[in-house]
Amino acid sequence: MSRELLCVESLRLRAGEGNEQRSLVSDVSFSVHEGRVTTLIGSSGSGKSLSCLAGLGLLPLGVRRAGGRVTLCGRDLDGLSPAAHRQMLGREAALIMQNPMSCFDPLHTIGSHFQETLAAHENGRLDMDRCTEVLARVGFEQPRQMLPLFPFEMSGGMLQRVMIALALLLGARLLVADEPTTDLDVVSQARVLDILDDLCREQGLGILLVTHDLSIVARLAREAYVMHAGRVVEQGEVTAIFESPRHHVTRELLRAHHDLAGFAPVDASCGAKT
């Protein structure tokens, strides 16, 4: 059994005060293991992003954890001091966000983004070899030439790969990817997914992937949790979920998915169905 990197047990999230309280997520449990991609699936507003942010202890302002336990890399988040928590983020677990175009500071080069990350955790010296090494891991053939570039000089797909490289810089074993390819075109998307697959398969990282696109789930994931209205309605192996979905929400998601995506990715069969 591979090591468990993240374990969330009966998580409950609430927003608002007093009578205005709303329950956003209730009784959600999931876990992420080394060397596997685990996904949270669901339509917009089903609570998947919040659940994964809660897993890192990074809830947005106004949302609080009303119950449940989160164990990140073997340590209970409740027992951690803020400083210790901060040390874990980046070294043990890292987050990849949806919009690479707006996540980078437009006034700073890629190199100084790397430096900033190093400064936040270590002595802040820009270690060229480490930067080029992680950039090479995400598929840049000439990593050294990327460092002096500004974010606007790169495409969305390249920036998303830089974001993954930044996440890997301090040796995180758990990657939390919240809709990592929604903003990219299909070609860049395939590239980024290949890289995530490699990281997981060959380097044994654990990945928690949040998505609404079932093609991405089919491409990458082994385990899936289907969320609806703040609850997990179905969980299991991805193949099982695709073959015999049990809950009606899952069936509805799959129906919509096959409706639009029932398209064989082979040239010859393109257009077989009009």
Q: Among residues 149, 138, 145, which one has the least CA distance to residue 106?
A: 149
Q: Among residues 41, 33, 31, 166, which one has the least CA distance to residue 105?
A: 166
Angle at 8 between CA 102 and CA 251, to 5 degrees: 80
Q: Which residue, 116 or 197, is less far from another protein as judged by CB?
A: 197
Selected from 28, 131, 216, 232, the binder of another protein by CB under 8 A is 216
Q: Which residue, 72 or 241, is less far from another protein as judged by CB?
A: 241
By CB under 8 A, what part of segment 62-101 binds another protein? none
CA distance 153 to 46: 35
Q: Is residue 44 a contact partner of residue 11, using CB atoms and an 8 Å limit?
A: no
Q: For residues 156-168, b (16+ Cβ closer than 10 Å) or e, as one string?
A: bbbbbbbbbbbbb
The least CB distance from residue 138 to another protein, in Å, is 18
Q: Which residue, 3 or 258, is less far from another protein as judged by CB?
A: 258
The least CB distance from residue 130 to another protein, in Å, is 30
Selected from 43, 49, 109, 112, the binder of another protein by CB under 8 A is 43
By CB under 8 A, what part of segment 155-174 binds another protein? 155-156
18 binds another protein (CB under 8 A): no
Q: Which residue, 120 or 255, is less far from another protein as judged by CB?
A: 255
Identify the bridge partners of residue 12 per DSSP, sorted by sequence position.
67
Q: Which residue, 121 or 212, is less far from another protein as judged by CB?
A: 212
Which H or E run includes 37?
strand 37-41
Q: Counting beta carbons within 10 angstroms of the beta carbon of residue 144, is it exposed (0 to 12), middle (13 to 18) or buried (19 or more)?
A: middle
By CB under 8 A, what part of segment 181-200 binds another protein? 182-190, 193
Cα radius of gyration rounded to whole Å, the chain: 19
Q: Which residue, 57 or 157, is less far from another protein as judged by CB?
A: 157
22 binds another protein (CB under 8 A): no
Enumerate binding residues for another protein (CB under 8 A).
43-45, 155-156, 182-190, 193, 212-219, 221, 237-239, 242, 252-253, 256-265, 267, 270-274
